Chain A
Amino acid sequence: MNERSIKFERDEQHLFNARIIAAALLILFALLGILARAYHLQVLENGKYAELSRQHYQKRIPIPPNRGQIYDRNGVLLAGSHTQYVLEVVRDSIGDENKDGKSTLADIDVLVERLGEFISLSEKDIRVFTQNARKFKYQPVPVKENLSEQEVATFSVNRPRFPGVNLEVRMERYYPLGTIASHIIGYVGRIDERDLEKLNKDEYLGTSHIGKTGVEAFHEDRLHGQAGFDLVEVDAHGKTQEELEKRSPIGGQDLFLGIDINLQMTSERLLKDERGAIVALDPQTGEVLTLASMPGYDPNLFINGISHKDYTELRDNPDRPLYNRALQGTYPPGSTIKPMVGVAGLAEGVINPGSHVYDPGFFRLSGQKHVFRCWNKRGHGSVNLKHAITQSCDTFFYDLAYRMGIDRFSGFMHKFGFGEETGIDLPSESPGLMPTPEWKEKRHKRNWYPGDTVNVGIGQGYWLATPLQLAHATTVMANRGVRLRPHVLRGVRTAKNQEEQILKPDPFPTVEAEEKFWDLTVQGMESVMHPGGTARAAGAGAPYRIAGKTGTAQVFGLAGGKYNAGRIAKRLRDHALFVGFAPADEPKIAVAVIVENALGGGGSVAAPIGRKLMDAYLLKQYDNDETLEAEVTAGAQDDPHD
C-alpha cells in the first residue's frame, strides 16, 4: 500500500467510526423510546391494564343462598323450597363416538336423540337446547328443567353413558297449602326489571326469584340471605382453570308467623263462597292469628310466571281474588265502632257514665227538617251508653258525635288507629279514611256539614276502615287503651344459630281514658252477646265471656225505602260486620269479621262467624277436615350447595 491509499484508508475508517458512533447513539435513543413506552404502559397506565387483566381472567360465579322457609306459629310449613332437577350439558365435555376425537355439532343431535330414550324431550326443548348449545361451549346449557323422579332415576342409572351431561339440583319455592293463607304468605316470582331497580344486584346475581307480595315481599331481606360466590380463573374461552376464592352463601332466615294455620283454615272455610275478610289478632302481642281474605288464589301459579289464561281468569273474576280485603278493602265500619266512640265521649267529657239520651227512633238537628233514623224505627226510649252499645242505638251516637264535634271525634278515633296505616308487616295496606273538614274541603271542595258529623257517629258517611283497622281497634278495647302494632312475623330463626327468636311487641301511645270508662264500654260489648244484645244468638252457650259488637255497613243508600236483603241485587246488599274479643276478662283473641253483601246483618251473619273463630282458637275446636301439625322435620332444610 502506498502512502495515499493509507491516508485514504485512514479517512475512511474515521468516517466509518463517526457513523458507527452516530448509529450507536440513535439506537440508544430508539431503545430508550421503547422503554419509555414500557414505562407508560407499566407504570402510568398500570392501574387501567391491571384492572382489564383482572376482568379478563377472573370470573365471579354467584352461589345463591337458600331462601328461608315460612312456618305458622306452631311450625307448620307454609312456604318451602324443594329440589328441582335440571339436566344440563357442557358441550366441551360431551363424550363422543367420533374416531377423530373431536366434538362436532353433529354430536349434539346424536346426544339429543340418545337422551330422548330416557327423558321425554319436547320439540321446543330440543330446539332451545340446540340453539344454546351451539353458542356456549364451556358453560352448562339446560336440556330440560323440572325432571320427574322417574326421569331422574332412569337418567342416573344411565349416567355413565353421558359424560358432559349433568343432573343439576336447584331449589324452587312451593306453597304446600295452596290457596290457604295466600294473602298473607304472598308468592315469589321471577325477578323483573322493576325489581332490578330496587335490589342490590351483587346479592341477587345468582338468584332468579324474589318475593312479589305478602310476607314473601315484605320480609324479602330476611328470607333471601346472603349470596356466596366462587371466584375462578378463566381462560380466553371462559373455561374455568382454578378456584381462587370461595364464599359460602348464608341462607335466609326461617320465618315463624303469628298465624295459627288451623284458625286460618277455619276462617277461610267460614267465609267459603262469600266475599269477605277475617282478621284475628292476639291483643297481648299484636300478633296476627288469622288474616283471611276470600276468595283467595293459589300462589304456586305465580312462581314461574303465571300463564296468560290463569292470570286473566284471576284478574277478571268479579270477586277479585287477588285483592286482599283484610288490608286493602275499605268499608264503612258501621256500628262496630260504637264502643270506641263511647270511650271517646267519656274521655272527652261529652257524656258521663250516667248520661241518658231519649231515642224516639230518629235524631234531628235543631232547626232542620232532615231526620237521621235509628235502625229501630220505634226507638229505644231513654238509653244510657251501656244500653246504646248493647242495642246499637244509633240516636245515642248521633247525638254524641254531634255534641263532640268532628275535630275531637276524628282526633280520638285516630288514637284507635283509624285513618292511618297500622304499619303491619305486609305490603299495600290501605290507611282507610277518617274524615275531617279539611279533608272534605280538599277532596270534595265542599264545606263540612253538621250532618256529616252525625253520620260519622255511627260509622257511616265518609268513614272507611279496613278489617285490619277494626281488629286493631278492638284489641285497644280489649287492652283498655294499650295499643300494639299488628304484625304477621312472630319470630325468626337464622341459618347460623338455628334458634327461634321471638320479636318484641311494638307499642303505639296508649289511648288514655279512665279505667271505669273502659269497664263500662266493655260491659256494653259483653251485653251484646247476651240476651237483649244484638248478637245474643252468637253468644249463647259460650264457656268463656265474649265482648263483641255487630255492625252493618250500607252499600246502597235507600232514600227512605224499606231495606229487604232478599229483594235487592246481591251486590247492593249491606255488609255484615262483627268485632269482638274473648275471654272478656283476659283477652286472648280479638277478631274483626266482614261479610260483603250478606244475606243478613252483623248479628245473624258476622257474629256467629266471630264466635266460631273464638271457639276454634280458645277451645281448639277447629272447623277443619284435618288439623295441621308441625312436621317433625320442620326446619331441617337440606342444602344442595354443601
Chain B
Amino acid sequence: MIRYLLPDWLTRALQRVDAVLLAALSLLVFMGLATLYSASDANWSMVYRQGIHFLIGLALIIIFSQIQSKTLKQWAIWLYGVGLVLLVLVLVIGVTKKGATRWLNLGVDIQPAEIMKLAVPMMVAYYFSEKPLPPRFVDIVVALVLVFVPMLLIMKQPDLGTSLLIATSGFFVIYLAGMSWWLIGGSVLFVAVAAPLMYFFGMHDYQRRRVDTLLNPEQDVLGTGYHIYQSKIAIGSGGVSGKGWMNGDQSHLDFLPERHTDFIFAVFGEEFGLMGNLVLMGLYLFIIWRGLYLASKGEDTFARLLAGSLSMTFFFYLFVNTGMVTGLLPVVGVPLPLVSYGGTSVVTLMMAFGIIMGMRKRKRVYQQED
C-alpha cells in the first residue's frame, strides 16, 4: 500500500531493509529516548537531538542496505589502509586531550580509531573470503596480524577500551571463519595467563586503577569507585518493578554520574527494575539473533563474515556496557548501544545494521524484475 505513495526508487530501496530488524530497532530506539528523557531530567532538546541522530541513522540504514557485498569488499582494503595511515599520523602529529593522543586535526578533530571499528572486521572478512575455509593456520596468523597492528597503534594512544573492542570485532570474524575450537581454547588459556602479566607490566596507572576499582569498588567510594558504587545503588534500589519512569532518585538527584551516556543502563534499571531489564535484554537478544540470522543468509563468505561479526560486536558493546554498569567489568567508556546519548555511536551502529541488511542474498525474483 505504502508502495503506491512512495517514489519508485524508494520503494525499491526499502525492499532491502529488513522490516523485522527495523521494527525491533525502532522499539529499542523508543525505549532509549524515553529513558534519555528521564535521565536528562526532561531535557527535550537533548531528546530531540538524539531523535535527529536516529533519523540520520535511519537514512544510513536505507543507504547502506543497498550496498552489495562485492562493492563493500572492494572498499575493505582501501578503508583499512587509509585507517592505518591515519593511526600512524595520530602518533606523530595527533591532538592530545586529557593525556591521550587520539585525534587528528583535519579541520575538525577526527578519531581514526572509529574508522577501524568497521575497517578491521571488513579487512579480515575480505582476507578470509579469498581463502579456503576453515582457515589454515597461516591464514589465521595473517588475520591476527591484520587485527593486532591497528590494535597496538590504538593501545599506544592510549585507548585500551577501543583497542580491545576493535580487536574483538576482528576476533569474531576469525571465529566465524571457522578457527578450530582447539585453537580458540588455547588462545583463551593464553589470555588467562597473559592478563595478570599485562596488569603488572603492561598497564598505565589509570588502567590499573580501573581494574582495582572493579575488583573492590566499595573500598574507594569517593574516588574511582564512585561511578560503580552509585550505579549499583541505582540498579539495586530499583528492585523488581522499579521506581517508575522519571522517578529514579539516584539519577534525578545527580548522584549518578554520566547518567545519560555510559551509565544510562543504571537509570533504566532504577526506574524499570528487573522487569524492565528482562524486557530490554530480551529485545537486545532478539536484535542480535536477527542480525546473526541475516548473516547466515549472507550473499557470500565476505557478507556472512562481516554481518556476523558486526552483530556479535553489537552484542559485545552491550555486554561490556551492562557488565560495567552492574559492576561485573571494569569501567570502559562504552555506551549502551542505541540507548546512550551520543551522535557518533548511534550513527555508526545504525550504519552497521544497514550493512548487515545489505549483506543478505538478493532475491532472485527481484533481480529478474530488475
Binding site for B on A (CB under 8 A): 8, 12-13, 15-17, 19-20, 23-24, 27-28, 30-31, 33-35, 37-39, 41-43, 45-46, 48-50, 52-54, 56-57, 233-237, 241
Bound CA span A19–B238, Å: 37
For the A-B complex with A24-B289, A30-B315, A41-B236 known, give 11 more contacts whose Cβ atoms are closer than 8 Å: A16-B178, A19-B175, A23-B172, A31-B318, A37-B323, A37-B326, A37-B327, A38-B274, A43-B274, A52-B236, A53-B250
Report whether B312 and A23 are in contact in the complex, using a CB–CB cutoff of 8 Å: yes
* Min distance, Cβ A207 to any Cβ of chain B, angstroms: 29
Known contacts A38-B235, A41-B326: A31-B253 contact under CB 8 Å: no
Closest to A50 in B: B237
Report whether A37 and B237 are in contact in the complex, using a CB–CB cutoff of 8 Å: no
Report whether B322 and A34 are in contact in the complex, using a CB–CB cutoff of 8 Å: yes
Bound CA span A50–B236, Å: 7
Q: Does B304 interact with chain A (Cβ within 8 Å)?
A: yes
Contacts of B295 in A (CB 8 A): 16, 20
Q: Would you list 14 pairs from A and B whose C-beta atoms are within 8 A, ordered by A residue?
A: A15-B133, A15-B178, A16-B308, A17-B296, A24-B288, A27-B288, A35-B278, A39-B274, A42-B240, A43-B239, A46-B239, A49-B233, A53-B237, A56-B253
Contacts of A28 in B (CB 8 A): 285
Closest to B305 in A: A16
* Min distance, Cβ A74 to any Cβ of chain B, angstroms: 55
* Min distance, Cβ B321 to any Cβ of chain A, angstroms: 10
Bound CA span A28–B284, Å: 10
Contacts of B284 in A (CB 8 A): 31
* Min distance, Cβ A36 to any Cβ of chain B, angstroms: 10
* Min distance, Cβ A20 to any Cβ of chain B, angstroms: 5
Contacts of A37 in B (CB 8 A): 323, 326-328
Tell me the chain B residues, 310-359 only, with Cβ under 8 Å from chain A: 312, 315, 318-319, 322-323, 326-328
Q: Does B67 interact with chain A (Cβ within 8 Å)?
A: no
Q: Does B301 interact with chain A (Cβ within 8 Å)?
A: yes
Report whether B236 and A49 are in contact in the complex, using a CB–CB cutoff of 8 Å: yes
Bound CA span A283–B237, Å: 66
Report whether A234 and B253 are in contact in the complex, using a CB–CB cutoff of 8 Å: yes
Report whether A41 and B235 are in contact in the complex, using a CB–CB cutoff of 8 Å: yes
* Min distance, Cβ A234 to any Cβ of chain B, angstroms: 7
Q: Does B21 interact with chain A (Cβ within 8 Å)?
A: no
Closest to A56 in B: B255
* Min distance, Cβ A21 to any Cβ of chain B, angstroms: 8
Report whether B274 and A31 are in contact in the complex, using a CB–CB cutoff of 8 Å: no
Interface of B is mostly: helix
* Min distance, Cβ B20 to any Cβ of chain A, angstroms: 16
* Min distance, Cβ A517 to any Cβ of chain B, angstroms: 79
Bound CA span A39–B276, Å: 12
Q: Binary interface profile of B, 134-153, with partner A (CB < 8 Å = 1, else 0)?
A: 10000000000000000000
Tell me the chain B residues, 52-92 only, with Cβ under 8 Å from chain A: none
Contacts of A33 in B (CB 8 A): 328
| Contacts between chains A and B (CB distance < 8 A), count | 133
Known contacts A20-B176, A37-B328: A53-B292 contact under CB 8 Å: no
* Min distance, Cβ A15 to any Cβ of chain B, angstroms: 5
Contacts of B176 in A (CB 8 A): 16, 19-20, 23
Contacts of B233 in A (CB 8 A): 49, 52-53, 56
Interface range, B side: 35 or more
Report whether A20 and B292 are in contact in the complex, using a CB–CB cutoff of 8 Å: yes
Bound CA span A35–B322, Å: 9
Bound CA span A54–B243, Å: 12
> Which residue of A31, A41, A56 contacts B250 across the interface (Cβ within 8 Å)?
A56
Report whether B292 and A57 are in contact in the complex, using a CB–CB cutoff of 8 Å: no
Q: Binary interface profile of B, 267-281, with partner A (CB < 8 Å = 1, else 0)?
A: 001000110011001
* Min distance, Cβ A51 to any Cβ of chain B, angstroms: 8
Bound CA span A234–B304, Å: 53
Bound CA span A34–B277, Å: 9
Contacts of A30 in B (CB 8 A): 315, 319
Bound CA span A236–B134, Å: 56
* Min distance, Cβ B121 to any Cβ of chain A, angstroms: 14
Report whether B254 and A35 are in contact in the complex, using a CB–CB cutoff of 8 Å: no
Closest to B243 in A: A53
* Min distance, Cβ B257 to any Cβ of chain A, angstroms: 9
Bound CA span A357–B254, Å: 95
Bound CA span A45–B327, Å: 14
* Min distance, Cβ A100 to any Cβ of chain B, angstroms: 22
Report whether B277 and A56 are in contact in the complex, using a CB–CB cutoff of 8 Å: no
Kindly list the 5 A-B residue pairs having the minimum CB-CB distance in the complex, ordered from nearest.
A49-B236, A53-B237, A235-B253, A41-B236, A236-B254
* Min distance, Cβ B78 to any Cβ of chain A, angstroms: 26
Bound CA span A237–B254, Å: 8
* Min distance, Cβ A39 to any Cβ of chain B, angstroms: 6
Contacts of A43 in B (CB 8 A): 239-240, 274
Contacts of B308 in A (CB 8 A): 16, 19-20, 23
Q: Does B234 interact with chain A (Cβ within 8 Å)?
A: yes
Q: Does B258 interact with chain A (Cβ within 8 Å)?
A: no
Q: Does B212 interact with chain A (Cβ within 8 Å)?
A: no
Report whether B255 and A235 are in contact in the complex, using a CB–CB cutoff of 8 Å: yes
Bound CA span A19–B328, Å: 26
Of listed B237, B250, B292, residue having the most chain A CB within 10 A: B237
* Min distance, Cβ B294 to any Cβ of chain A, angstroms: 10
* Min distance, Cβ B274 to any Cβ of chain A, angstroms: 4
* Min distance, Cβ A121 to any Cβ of chain B, angstroms: 34
Report whether B253 and A49 are in contact in the complex, using a CB–CB cutoff of 8 Å: no
Contacts of A23 in B (CB 8 A): 172, 175-176, 292, 308, 312
Report whether B236 and A42 are in contact in the complex, using a CB–CB cutoff of 8 Å: yes
Contacts of B239 in A (CB 8 A): 42-43, 46, 50
> Which residue of A15, A19, A27, A39 contacts B285 across the interface (Cβ within 8 Å)?
A27
Contacts of B134 in A (CB 8 A): 15
Closest to B285 in A: A31
Closest to B273 in A: A42
Bound CA span A241–B252, Å: 10
Report whether A27 and B238 are in contact in the complex, using a CB–CB cutoff of 8 Å: no
Closest to A41 in B: B236
* Min distance, Cβ B350 to any Cβ of chain A, angstroms: 20
Bound CA span A630–B285, Å: 83
Q: Does B232 interact with chain A (Cβ within 8 Å)?
A: yes
Q: Binary interface profile of B, 26-45, with partner A (CB < 8 Å = 1, else 0)?
A: 00000000000000000000
Closest to A49 in B: B236
Report whether A235 and B285 are in contact in the complex, using a CB–CB cutoff of 8 Å: no
Bound CA span A411–B237, Å: 69
Known contacts A20-B308, A34-B319: A12-B253 contact under CB 8 Å: no
Contacts of A8 in B (CB 8 A): 132
Bound CA span A43–B241, Å: 10
Closest to B321 in A: A34
> Which residue of B172, B178, B269 contacts A38 across the interface (Cβ within 8 Å)?
B269
Report whether A49 and B232 are in contact in the complex, using a CB–CB cutoff of 8 Å: yes
* Min distance, Cβ A60 to any Cβ of chain B, angstroms: 16
Bound CA span A53–B277, Å: 19
Contacts of A56 in B (CB 8 A): 233, 249-250, 253, 255
Closest to A11 in B: B133
> Which residue of B133, B255, B277, B322 contacts A236 across the interface (Cβ within 8 Å)?
B255
Bound CA span A204–B260, Å: 41
Contacts of B301 in A (CB 8 A): 12, 16
Closest to B229 in A: A52
Bound CA span A235–B328, Å: 27
Report whether B312 and A48 are in contact in the complex, using a CB–CB cutoff of 8 Å: no
Bound CA span A17–B292, Å: 9
Closest to B293 in A: A20
Tell me the chain B residues, 181-240 only, with Cβ under 8 Å from chain A: 232-240
